[in-house]
Every structure is written in C-alpha cells, then in structure tokens.
Chains A and B, each alone.
Chain A
Amino acid sequence: MARLVLLLLALSLASCRVILDLEDEPAPPNPPVTPVRPVVPVPGPGTFTYRCTGGTLVVHYLDSNNLRLFYDGAFQNLSLLRRSPTLLYSGGTGGAYTWEWDGSWGSLSVRGQVVLRNCGL
C-alpha cells in the first residue's frame, strides 16, 4: 500500500514537473520586422479618364508595362520604368512624357514640367 502511495506521489510530482517545464519554456523570440515596400497595383488593362487640376487626361493601360495617353494633340506611348514606391511611366515623343501614379493620385509631366497634377478617378 505504501508503495502504491509513493508511486502515485511520484507520478503526480512528475506530472507537475512536466507542467512546470512547459511554463518555464522561454517565449520564442519575435521574428525580425522586415519593412514592407508599398506595391502599387498596375491599373487596368483598360481606359481611365482622370480629372486633374488643369483638365482631364485619358489613359489606356495596355498591359502591365505599357500605356497610351492622349496629350499635345497626339497619342503618346509610355513604358513602365519603376513599380515602387509609385508607378512611373516614361516615353512618348522624344521621351518627353512622364506619368506617375501612387494608387490614388497621379501627375503628368512634359519635359520635366508638371502639366496635370492631382489626377484622380
């Protein structure tokens, strides 16, 4: 009988120890925080008319890398240069045109000068 009591005591102590072992386990270290670079989704494909300070602008997103817009009385074809932190397209006649889109607002520059700003849908 005494042996049985001792066995049960040993078992209960052992189980306590297991529990204590679990509680004593150190918390896993926090994973290092990796800064997330904003990714602006490419609009379209399709045609969008933006209202800007300075007038309107019609942009055709042809595929994930190319667009066509109408300005200076002609269609201008631009290609994607950069995806982050904003989408930046460049090209057109003489490579003079730049269209920058941050996901909410855009601007059109011609020869480095902004001609349409605060362009939104």
Chain B
Amino acid sequence: MGRNYLLSAMLAGLALGLSGCLVLVELPVSNFRFDSNWQRTTDGAYVFCTNKTSQMRYKFRAPDPSVITKIEERYVGLASGRTLTLDRPIADLSRDGNDLVFIGELTFGEGGVPQSLPPGVGQQSITVTPVNPPTSRNGATTVTVTVTTRSGVQYSGSYTYDTYANCP
C-alpha cells in the first residue's frame, strides 16, 4: 500500500515536472503601495502640504476583488494625537490590471487630519510634484489600510506622510 502511494506520488511529480507546470500560491491581497502628489526632493518620500491641495493614493494587488469584504482606512495624526477610522467602499477604488487603486483628496482642519477623503479625483492619475522641504513640518499622518477577505484574514499596509505648512 505504502509503496503504491509513493510510486503514485513520484509519477504525479514526474508528470508535473515534465509538463512544465508551475504551481504558484498567491495571496488574495498583497503589495500595498502609497504615494501622494508631493514628493520630498531630499529623500523621495511622499508628503502632504497643508497649504496646498494634497492628494494621496494607495494601491494593492488583488487579482480577485470579489474575495474582499471590507477595506478599512485608519489615519493617525502625530501632532493632534487623533485617530480617524473609516470604512472605504470598494466601489471607491478603481482597477488597474491586478491592482485596486484609491485616490483621495485630503482636507485638513478641526476634528482630525485629514477630515475626509472624498473618492474620485480622476482615478489612476495624480501628478506628483517634487517639493523642496521647508522647515515648517507641522505634523505627520500615518495611514494604515486593512483589507479583510471572505475567509476573515486581514492584510495591511501602512505609510507615514510628513506634513508641511508653507509649501512653495
């Protein structure tokens, strides 16, 4: 019995090997990336300018978006100490190949930084502008995106944006 099993396994392996079949196990959600429309020239980091229109973009690989049940965004303001948590409808994201992409425009003010992130803003494209960092860093916002799939597994990505006043 054991010998037959071993022989079957070897034959199956040989068949797969000969067929050139490559079995890949892929996560349903992976490769979170973040940027904004302001990029610090000194180190390439993406930042927010509180005196200018600031947009943020995040994307992640999700070949089958039907497995996604929830997308949660969490914003933690360093200067204010406040946390803003919101559920992002998947309809607010657009598809770019195997990626899902969200672009939002930030509003800064009382109640947390940012207050809201209206979806849209010309999905897919934001214009990244190099910015020479002024000395006026007035905070930082850590953005964490957590995606929950049908199986209940959560996948997260995070990025900290320094914020500046008086961007040129």
Residues of chain A whose beta carbon lies under 8 Å from any beta carbon of chain B: 47-49, 51-58, 69-73, 75, 115-116, 121
Q: Chain B: interface residue count, which band? A: 20 to 34
A55 touches B78 (CB 8 A): no
Q: B139 within 8 Å of A by Cβ?
A: yes
Number of A-B contacts (CB under 8 A): 67
Tell me, in angstroms, the Cα distance from A54 to B49 when the chains sit together.
9
Known: A70-B78, A115-B165. A56 touches B137 (CB 8 A): no
Contact of B79 among A52, A58, A116, A121 (CB under 8 A): A58
A56 touches B166 (CB 8 A): no
Contact of A51 among B82, B109, B135 (CB under 8 A): B109
Q: B85 within 8 Å of A by Cβ?
A: no
Contacts of B162 in A (CB 8 A): 73
Nearest B residue (CB) for A51: B109
Tell me, in angstroms, the Cα distance from A52 to B108 when the chains sit together.
11
Interchain Cβ contacts under 8 Å between A and B, 18 examples: A49-B109, A51-B109, A54-B136, A54-B165, A55-B51, A55-B165, A56-B138, A56-B165, A58-B77, A58-B138, A58-B139, A70-B138, A71-B136, A71-B165, A73-B135, A73-B162, A115-B136, A115-B166
CB proximity of B15 to chain A, nearest CB, Å: 62
Contacts of A48 in B (CB 8 A): 110
Tell me, in angstroms, the Cα distance from A51 to B166 when the chains sit together.
12
B113 touches A49 (CB 8 A): yes
CB proximity of B87 to chain A, nearest CB, Å: 23
B138 touches A71 (CB 8 A): yes
Contacts of B77 in A (CB 8 A): 58
Contacts of B50 in A (CB 8 A): 55-56
Tell me, in angstroms, the Cα distance from A121 to B82 when the chains sit together.
16
Contacts of A58 in B (CB 8 A): 77, 79-80, 113, 138-139
A116 touches B165 (CB 8 A): yes
